[in-house]
Amino acid sequence: MIDIKFLRENPDIVRQNIKNKFQDFKLPMVDEVIELDEKLRKTKAEADELRSKRNKISKEIGALMAQGKKEEAEQVKASVASIGETLAGLEPLEAELEEKVKKIMMTIPNIIDPSVPIGKDDSENVEIEKFGEPFVPEFEIPYHTDIMEKLNGIDLDSARKVAGNGFYYLMGDIARLHSAVISYARDFMIERGFTYCVPPFMIRSEVVTGVMSFAEMDAMMYKIEGEDLYLIGTSEHSMIGKFIDTLNDEAKLPYTLTSYSPCFRKEKGAHGIEERGVYRIHQFEKQEMIVVCKPEESKMWYDKLWQNTVDLFRSLDVPVRTLECCSGDLADLKVKSCDVEAWSPRQKKYFEVGSCSNLGDAQSRRLRIRVKDENGNKYFAHTLNNTVVAPPRMLIAFLENNLNEDGSIRIPVALRPYMGGKEVIKG
């Protein structure tokens, strides 16, 4: 959410930003919110003046009563009553206008970074850099669930009976591999100076609307019926929510946290064969990283965050690349974002395994996450998030890139301590 003062002073920049995101239907909102904001400020100024006047008169009444001038005090009370009647009409209007302005401001997209390429959708995202050499073995690589089934590592049929499509049972060494990757990712981030955290797996609606756009919320979140609670789609939601309504000492920044959680997503719509199996599912586990920092440091932290994911995947012998998200592929709160994609030797192309985002002060503004500097000045912090690793999707890349011709799976050296010293998974 951008600052209403910025919009008021720079409407053309806001309009162009909307156009750059190919959301022209939102252009009328700029004039609408400017008009509402003007009405709100006038109404608030009038109400504040009346409240100040009422307070002043109330003090006069107290002084008159103390002097025993009850008759004069009663006469003054009449003017207080008149002010109260006027305020009774103004205050509901003030609240109504505030709500209307807030609703529109939460819909207008954040100002994207100048470096973001302009494009309509993810088909126009731009490759930044490749890490590791992609390869295709001479033998045929089966579909990922076929690899797992041969190793007695997955049961989709039972999961459908128990929970429906989009769920799975991981079994044996594949289940152990899944947990090993999560544990390795946890320790990998701790070694890089991040504080480990296990957050709440449910959050209130105020936090949901504070960390994501309405469109994302509708597409992703599961609501708990009869309660003001949602299942998290990623631990970033509750991790950023941890700082709601806080005034933070600048000297303690940045806060760098890495968190584990299960994640729950609707994943609406039909998908092709490559997005079945365990690629696009309703429940999975994830290791995440978030940063709360000073505005001038957010660009630096953005580069550090995506590099962490690249380094982790390379330590597991998986080639990856980074992909700059274009303007039309950015969620409304994001200033800049890139995807980390892993190489699939079966598909002979890359696919997404993580996403890194700089949200500027958008989440902080919504959740009131402020910072106080050494001079007592207050400002909104910047927030960033990035996927460390999200199995079982990551397992697809891992299995394909470490598959032997006989169907066994190589275990990279870095992961062996988490697999009881195993070097190979065999059927």
Total-model pTM: 0.89
Cβ atoms of residues 189 and 388 within 8 Å: yes
Structure tokens at 406: 């006989």
DSSP state letter for 117: P
DSSP state letter for 356: E
CATH number at 122-425 = 3.30.930.10
Can you say which residues are annotated as belonging to the binding site for ATP?
Answer: 265-267, 352-355
Query: pLDDT per residue over 21-36, tens digit each?
Result: 999 999 999 999 999 9
If we measure between CA atoms, which residue out of 422, 426, 420, 404 comes closest to residue 412? 422
Q: Domain limits of the chain? A: 4-105, 122-425
Can you say which residues are annotated as belonging to the binding site for L-serine?
Answer: 234, 265, 288, 385
What pLDDT does residue 270 have?
46
Average pLDDT for runs of 10 along the chain of length 427: 94 98 97 97 90 78 72 69 82 93 95 97 96 95 95 94 93 96 98 98 95 82 94 95 98 98 80 62 94 98 97 96 97 96 96 96 97 97 97 92 96 97 93
Can you say which residues are annotated as belonging to the binding site?
Answer: 234, 265-267, 288, 352-355, 385
Upstream peptide bond of 254 is cis (omega within 30 degrees of 0): yes
With vertex at residue 403, the alpha carbon angle to CA 401 and CA 407, rounded to the nearest 5 degrees, is 160
Q: How far apart are CA 162 and CA 313, in angstroms?
A: 33
Q: What is the dihedral of CA 116, 120, 123, 126, to 10 degrees?
A: -10
CATH-assigned architecture of domain 4-105: Orthogonal Bundle (1.10)
Q: DSSP readout, 289-350?
A: EEEEE-GGGHHHHHHHHHHHHHHHHHHTT--EEEEEPPGGGS-TT-SEEEEEEEEETTTTEE
Chain Cα centroid distance, residue 303:
17
State the number of CA atoms in the 13 A half-sphere of 66 facing the CB: 6
What pLDDT does residue 98 have?
95
Cβ atoms of residues 224 and 231 within 8 Å: yes
Contacts of 199 (CB under 8 A, 6+ apart): 232, 235, 238, 239, 242, 259, 261
Q: How far apart are CA 13 and CA 111, in angstroms?
A: 8
